[in-house]
Every structure is written in C-alpha cells, then in structure tokens.
C-alpha cells in the first residue's frame, strides 16, 4: 500500500476503487511540464530566502529535470494511489534524491500548486490557439484573393437574396475569427496571473517572495488575495466560453461547406482527404470532417455549462469539486485545435466551382432588388417600386423565365420610366459592382476589406 502524503491523521487504509474514483492522475498528467516548471521556480525562491541550501536546490532541480526526461521517454508509470500529478512527482523525487525532495513542498499547498499549473497550461494553450486561428485566417484571405471575381448567390432564410462575391462571403469568417482572437487575447489578462505562494487558503508563515516566482514563471501579474488565488476559476470559464464561441463559428462555416458541396448546390468540391465514403453506397462522398466540427461544437459548449454549474454553489475556498475543472478543459483545447487545423485543411484544398456559381446567379431572382433600386433612381417611391417588381417576378414565375428573359415591352407596361439599359442593370456582375458603400460586396469594397484583413494578420 502506498503511503499517503496526508495519511498521518488516518488509521485505516484506503480502498482501491475509492482511490480510483478520487484520483486525477488519469488526466492531470498532462500538466507534468507545468508542474515541474512551477516546482523549480518555487525551489529556487526557497533557496533565495535561505529555506533551502544551494546544494539542496541543485539536487531538487536536477531530480525534477530527470523525472521530466524519463517521462518524455516513456519510462515512468504513475500511481493511482498517489492521486495526482503533484504527489506522483513528489514521490518520484523523494525516491530519486532522498528526504531532501520532501523539503520542496515547504510553504506550498497542492491548492496553489495546481492553480499555478493550470494558469501556466491555459496561458500556453491560449497562445497556441491564437496562433492557430491566425493561420486559418491567412488561408481564408488567400481563398478570398484567389476568387475575387467569383460571384455567388447570397442567402437570407436559405432563400436566394442578392448576388454577392464569394470572397465577400468567405471573409465573414475571417472577421468572426478576428473577434475570437481578440477575445482570447483579452482573456490572457486574467490568465496571466500567479497564484503560487498563496498556500492552502491563508498564505504561509515562511518568509517567501511571491514576486520572485511570478517573474520566474513569466506571469504578468500576481493574485493579491490568497483565498482568491486558490479558488479562482474564472479564467477557465472564460477560456471555455471563448473556445465554445469559436467552435460555433467553425460550426457555421462547416454548415456552409456541407451545403455548398451537395449535388443540389455543387458550389465547391471538397478534397478527398477531408471526406469519406459509404460502406454501402459506392457513389457517396460525405463531408464528414465538416460534420464532425459541427457536432463537436456541442461538446465544447457542454464543457462550458458543466464548468458554470460546477462553480455556482461552491463556498470559498478550495473544494474537491474543482478537480472537475480539468478534463473538460483539456478536451476542449484538444478539440478546438484539431477543428481549426481540419478547417484550414478543408479550405486550402477545396475547389470553388466558378462556372456553377456563375450559372446560379444568372438564373434566379436575386437581381430583383437591383430592379427596384433602378426604379427608385427614376424617382419612383421604393414601396411602389417594390410592388412593380414583385408583379414582374410573379409574371416571370408564371412563364417559367427570369427577369433577364422578360421582353422589354413587359417592362414598359409595368413602368414607363424603364429604359433599354435595364438588361445591363440586371446583370449579376453589374449588380455586385454597383455596391459601393464601405463594407459592401462590390469588388473595390472587397479589395479594401482584403487589404485590411492582410494587415490584421501580418
């Protein structure tokens, strides 16, 4: 039976299946680098304050580095009886260098230790997520630039609305991701704070230097209240919230790709590398990667709700409930990083079916608003123009034709102000390029947007 670090007050041995339920080593072993980094900083501070000797610290530091190296080589097996990554490392250190290893925990609790590990982990992963988002943004910009002349139908209510540029549509997701990136960057202000040295709840009687460990671990700030330091999980909630919203944005883009790749639309063709087939139907090419991203957005949102419910009734300060803050976060981080990379792969390898898109905007009524605007320019009130065009559309529907096919005599009957230039106005390309307002779908406006997008990622 492994001796418990807290076992002095207990008389009975623990039960193995209870140990298994209690342990977090199954998942918190991913914190090993953070735990060792924090321990070395703490030991160095103890040495500076004369709590450890120079020789003791050197042995502790060397032992910790050996443990990390052995772990990376797959030479370490962790123990469930030792509960978590902190106690496993401490036990391994004592086995390696003797009782000196037990001095490392002076002026430190697992409460501030795990908080430190989590802050270091979340900071590292959020910085990586920001970088991965920016990489995907670059791919979106390249996709928009290479298709700057391509027209497509714009939709509202999944009904054809107005012709737009494909680049204008895809850039929407650049700006969604730009806001996501900004939220992650802002969250770093709350993540980049050191709780180390707060102890279990009330600090410590030892003369430690929390500012030294803050600087050693490259934290931008420090907790000013020991109870807040060990009980704060706001930064995890905020990170999960940012992950959830980014995943929702990726889910929306996935839904676009799924629709665009159907036979009914055929606007794009996804690479074989990001699709799968059917075990029964040989003709199938399924957009499974996009569907998985769409599905996994529910998973990450669930982790956010779980974390909020975890915290809502907790009294100060540390409670064992807080052990449940990790698995969901770890999986959410893995999920979003995978989803961002998969989305980047899908966008960078897909083909835009330009001819299909051009035909789509040539054979619909998405130019109806253009006709109404034309009448308004001829000083017909918009409401009257709207009714005139609506009746013309109905005439076309009844005849099985489109506005571009309607004889000029019909236009003249509808309104005497309509001239022969109406057919130019009804052209999808002309319609798009008549959009001159800032942020619109006009080619020149989109070029301005692209320039700004490039500046944001370079």
Catalytic residue numbers? 157, 278
The two three-digit tokens of residue 137, written as one number: 């943004």
Question: Would you give the distance in Å from CA 34 to the centre of its chain?
Answer: 22
* 135 contacts 344 by C-beta, under 8 angstroms: yes
Q: Quick count: other Cβ atoms within 10 Å of Cβ 72?
A: 11
- For residue 148, CA distances in Å to 71, 153, 281, 428, 431 come to 51, 15, 37, 14, 15
- For residue 424, CA distances in Å to 320, 429, 436, 444 come to 71, 9, 17, 19
| Short-list 414, 359, 122, 347, CA closest to 243 | 122
Which residue shows structure tokens 């979340």? Answer: 122
């Amino acid at each position: 039976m492994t001796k418990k670090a807290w076992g002095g007050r207990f008389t009975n041995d623990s039960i193995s299946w209870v140990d298994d339920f209690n342990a977090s080593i199954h998942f918190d072993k991913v914190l090993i680098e953070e735990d060792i980094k924090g321990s070395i900083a703490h030991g160095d501070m103890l040495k500076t304050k004369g709590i450890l000797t120079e020789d003791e610290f050197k042995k502790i530091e060397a032992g910790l580095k050996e443990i990390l190296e052995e772990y990376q080589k797959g030479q370490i097996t962790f123990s469930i009886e030792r509960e978590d990554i902190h106690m496993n490392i401490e036990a391994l250190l004592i086995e390696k260098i003797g009782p000196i290893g037990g001095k490392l925990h002076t002026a430190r609790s697992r409460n501030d230790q795990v908080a430190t590990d989590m802050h270091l982990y979340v900071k590292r992963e959020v910085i990586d997520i920001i970088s991965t988002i920016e990489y995907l943004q670059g791919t979106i910009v390249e996709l928009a630039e290479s298709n700057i002349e391509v027209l497509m139908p714009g939709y509202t209510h999944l009904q054809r609305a107005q012709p737009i540029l494909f680049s204008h549509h895809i850039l929407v997701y650049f700006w969604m991701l730009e806001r996501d990136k900004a939220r992650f960057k802002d969250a770093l202000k709350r993540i980049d704070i050191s709780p180390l040295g707060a102890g279990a709840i009330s600090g410590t009687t030892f003369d430690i230097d929390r500012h030294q460990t803050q600087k050693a671990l490259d934290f931008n700030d420090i907790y000013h209240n020991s109870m807040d330091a060990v009980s704060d999980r706001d930064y995890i909630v905020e990170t999960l919230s940012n992950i959830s919203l980014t995943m929702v944005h990726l889910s929306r883009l996935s839904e676009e790709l799924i629709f665009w790749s159907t036979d009914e639309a055929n606007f794009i063709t996804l690479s074989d590398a990001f699709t799968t087939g059917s075990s029964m139907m040989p003709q199938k090419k399924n957009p499974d990667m996009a569907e998985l991203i769409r599905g996994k957005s529910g998973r990450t949102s669930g982790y956010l709700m779980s974390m909020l419910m975890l915290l809502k009734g907790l009294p100060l300060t540390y409670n064992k409930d807080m052990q449940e803050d990790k698995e969901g976060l770890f999986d959410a981080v893995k999920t979003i990083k995978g989803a961002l990379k998969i989305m980047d792969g899908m966008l960078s390898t897909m083909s835009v079916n330009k001819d299909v898109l051009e035909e789509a905007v040539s054979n619909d009524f998405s130019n109806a608003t253009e006709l109404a605007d034309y009448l308004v320019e001829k000083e017909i009130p918009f409401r009257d123009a709207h009714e005139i065009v609506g009746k013309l559309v109905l005439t076309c529907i009844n005849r099985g034709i489109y506005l571009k096919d309607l004889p000029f005599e019909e236009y003249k009957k509808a309104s005497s102000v309509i001239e022969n230039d109406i057919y130019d106005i009804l052209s999808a390309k002309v319609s798009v390029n008549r959009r001159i307002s800032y942020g619109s779908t006009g080619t020149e406006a989109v070029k301005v947007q692209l320039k700004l997008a490039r500046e944001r990622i370079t």
